[in-house]
């Protein structure tokens, strides 16, 4: 990296480490009303140019240039980076590839089951088996589900992407963990110019600290956005380029996961178990996994997935997960064991019907950002990796061409989308396109399983119709008065646990003196709408205890309290909020969970 860039990175690291107390300011909040307590202080809601505390603050950013910039150090982003450098090395081309990742280290924000289908990995590294990464599965419990795990590999995805990061760095990719991409930059002609990393040194009240430092700009010929599910920059790009014009709204699920150390006598390395339904009712989509890891000690990874198109605002995905562990089939494995890790993340479940346009001038969407997950298989790592590789192969001849011809300043590479549609990703997602939406019927789970049995097992997705999803997940909740409250059993501290002790196992931490990154477009909406109509569903659908309603200091009425330091970056709130008033943005880099192989 160039010397100025290195100095900029060092300066930003110094600011991150400095926790000097904020200055006191007397400016009265102009973004809050006299009636509603102030919640949001983030500059995306309360502009700095209208805040006198920011007058005279230096706002110029250092800029650096690369051939390709990649946002997100997950399977898609790292596979794209690796493939680009493989091609550059093969053809002896000079190609600068920079990757930014908001986690403190590669893999620290990564969570998945995960049972890896190695098809894309075989293409990326034909010799990966000699490296002793993973152990194969040998068992399956999956009644009536279109999955076959023979030949797949149980992995801890955080460890897997860390390994991918090591391979990328060996090839010459520049990786910058701890730097969150906070802003999309545009050329004057509207094409994407690159990204800017987040500013640091801002106090919780939105004022600049003495150590305030602007983020840096990274410019590129092409920028790849691989932020993962429901990325906050991707949301901007959808609007900017109207990328969702010809597809259905994305539909999601939340996945919750734990890792346990169990009695060695119960350990079956390589065993894979899946279930659907219970303890959910027939009209709520969901299921579970339990994987016996093969790492030399008796570890199991288990989790529960709940579709976010559920209708009862009293449902708590976290408590459903805790209740599920008491099923005799699961309890017998866990009894006598110790829980050692917890985490959660949102998943794309829309599949084929919800795929947006993935190319635009200056950029591309890859991986779980647009949503290539095969929902019935409960697998998306292989498709994410392949999408990144296809993007790299489409980009490479363009960015290395001597006579670069482009109608826009940022390169538009439509060949990526064309190649996607010719690839096995497209065929795979098309064949299972009707399985998830088939659950939207009077019989719910049972009707969906019958449909899957007939039209997937027999016709393999060749039916001449395509079913539709129910619409936005945020629009599915019914008013609380129309629903029955769900009474959940108290956690026993042996198999089931409370929320805060669970979050503690995620290693989640944020700098406390910064504006909450869970921003509200209108601070009055949570009480006036969410609490009044839906009994405050955010305090139940959040898997980390970020949202809670507490009495006003006057004793009259309630207010929403946001415990941003608990956030595990799952994005569920942004997705499921019935008012669509919550906008998740990145906190200061390195903040969030500190997963170790989740």
Instruction: Spell 400-435 as b/e; 16+ CB within 10 A means b.
Output: beeeeeeeebbbbbebbbebbeeeebbebbbbbbbb
- All residues at 6 or more sequence positions from 310 whose CB lies less than 8 Å from its CB, including other chains: 284, 285, 476, 477
SS3 315: coil
Q: Which of 8, 46, 98, 567 is catalytic?
A: 567
In the numeric block, the tokens 């008012």 are attached to 579
- H or E stretch at 64: strand 63-71
What CA–CA distances, in Å, run from 157 to 138, 216, 258?
A: 19, 29, 13
Report residue 262 as tokens. Answer: 């169990």
E-strand ranges in 293-382 read 299-307, 338-348, 359-360, 363-365
Q: Is 555 exposed, middle or buried (0-12, 13-18, 19+ CB in 10 A)?
A: exposed
Q: Which of 339, 345, 436, 540 is catalytic?
A: 345
Q: Which of 112, 223, 275, 590 is catalytic?
A: 112
Determine the angle formed by the axes of helices 75-90 and 381-399, rounding to 10 degrees: 40
Q: Which of 271, 496, 542, 590 is catalytic?
A: 542
Question: For residue 76, which of 126, 110, 33 has the smallest C-alpha distance?
Answer: 110
Radius of gyration for the alpha carbons in the chain, expressed in angstroms and rounded: 24
User: Does 46 participate in catalysis according to the annotation?
Assistant: no
Report residue 349 as tokens. Answer: 């479940």
Q: Which of 207, 570, 572, 590 is catalytic?
A: 570
User: Does 381 participate in catalysis according to the annotation?
Assistant: yes
Instruction: Spell 506-543 as b/e; 16+ CB within 10 A means b.
Output: bbbebbebbbbbbbbeebbbbbeebbebbbbbbbbbbb
| Alpha helices (runs of H) in 305-356, residue ranges in sequence order | 317-324, 328-334
Q: Which of 197, 381, 383, 387 is catalytic?
A: 381
Give the separation between CA 433 and CA 374, rounded to whole angstroms.
9
Q: Which of 8, 46, 368, 573 is catalytic?
A: 573
- H or E stretch at 386: helix 381-399
Give the separation between CA 478 and CA 475, rounded to whole angstroms.
8
Give the separation between CA 439 and CA 479, rounded to whole angstroms.
22
DSSP states of 6-48? HHHHHHHHHHHH--PPPPP--PPPSSS-SSSPP----TTTS-G
Give the separation between CA 586 and CA 456, rounded to whole angstroms.
40
Report residue 26 as tokens. Answer: 């007397």
Angle in degrees, CA 35, 36, 40, rounded to 5: 145
User: Does 115 participate in catalysis according to the annotation?
Assistant: no
Catalytic residue annotation: 112, 345, 381, 542, 567, 570, 573
């Amino acid at each position: 990296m160039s010397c100025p860039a290195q100095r900029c990175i060092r300066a930003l690291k110094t600011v991150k480490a400095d926790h000097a107390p904020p200055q006191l300011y007397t400016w009265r909040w102009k973004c809050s009303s006299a009636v509603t307590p102030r919640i949001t202080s983030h500059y995306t809601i309360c502009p700095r140019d209208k805040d006198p505390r920011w007058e005279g603050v230096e706002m110029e950013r250092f800029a650096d240039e690369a051939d390709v910039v990649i946002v997100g150090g997950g399977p898609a982003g790292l596979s794209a980076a690796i493939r680009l450098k493989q091609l550059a090395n093969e053809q002896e081309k000079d190609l600068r590839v920079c990757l930014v990742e908001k986690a403190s280290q590669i893999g620290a924000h990564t969570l998945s089951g995960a049972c890896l289908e190695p098809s894309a990995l075989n293409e990326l590294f034909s010799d990966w088996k000699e490296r002793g990464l993973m152990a194969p599965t040998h068992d399956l419990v999956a009644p009536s589900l279109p999955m076959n795990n023979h030949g797949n590999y149980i992995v801890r995805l955080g460890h897997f992407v860390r390994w991918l990061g090591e391979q990328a760095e060996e090839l010459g990719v520049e990786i910058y963990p701890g730097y969150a991409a906070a802003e999309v930059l545009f050329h004057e002609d509207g094409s994407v110019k690159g990204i800017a990393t987040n500013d640091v040194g801002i106090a919780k009240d939105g004022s600049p600290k003495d150590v305030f430092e602007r983020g840096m700009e990274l410019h590129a010929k092409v920028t790849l956005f691989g932020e993962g599910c429901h990325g906050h920059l991707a949301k901007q790009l959808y609007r900017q380029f109207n990328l969702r014009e010809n597809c259905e709204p994305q539909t999601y699920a939340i996945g919750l996961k734990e890792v346990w150390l169990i009695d060695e006598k119960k350990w079956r390395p390589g065993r894979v178990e899946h279930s659907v339904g219970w303890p959910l009712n027939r009209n709520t989509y969901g299921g579970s996994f339990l994987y016996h890891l093969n790492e030399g000690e008796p570890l199991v990874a288990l989790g529960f997935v709940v579709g976010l198109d559920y209708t009862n605002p009293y449902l708590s995905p976290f408590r459903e997960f805790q209740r599920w562990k008491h099923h005799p089939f699961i309890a017998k494995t866990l009894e006598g064991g110790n829980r050692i890790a917890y985490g959660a993340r949102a998943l794309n479940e829309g599949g084929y019907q919800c795929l947006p346009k993935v190319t635009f001038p200056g950029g591309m969407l890859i991986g779980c950002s647009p949503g290539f997950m095969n929902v019935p298989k409960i697998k998306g790592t292989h498709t994410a990796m392949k999408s990144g590789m296809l993007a790299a192969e489409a980009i490479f001849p363009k960015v290395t061409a001597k006579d670069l011809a482009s109608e826009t300043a940022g390169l538009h590479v439509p060949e990526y989308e064309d190649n996607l549609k010719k690839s096995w990703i497209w065929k795979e997602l098309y064949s299972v396109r009707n399985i998830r939406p088939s659950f939207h019927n009077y019989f719910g789970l049972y009707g969906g399983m019958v449909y899957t049995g007939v039209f997937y097992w027999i016709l393999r997705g060749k039916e001449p119709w395509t079913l539709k999803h129910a619409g936005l997940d945020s629009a599915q909740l019914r008013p609380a008065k129309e629903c029955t409250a769900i009474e959940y059993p108290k956690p026993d501290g042996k198999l089931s646990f409370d929320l805060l002790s669970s979050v503690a196992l995620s290693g989640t931490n944020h700098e406390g003196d910064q504006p909450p990154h869970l921003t509200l477009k209108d601070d009055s909406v949570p009480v006036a709408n969410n609490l009044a109509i839906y009994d405050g569903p955010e305090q139940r659908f959040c898997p980390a205890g970020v949202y809670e309603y507490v009495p006003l200091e006057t004793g009259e009425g309630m207010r929403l309290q946001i415990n941003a330091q608990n956030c595990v970056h799952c994005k569920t709130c942004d997705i499921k909020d019935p008012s669509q008033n919550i906008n998740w943005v990145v906190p200061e880099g390195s903040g969030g969970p500190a997963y170790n192989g989740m």
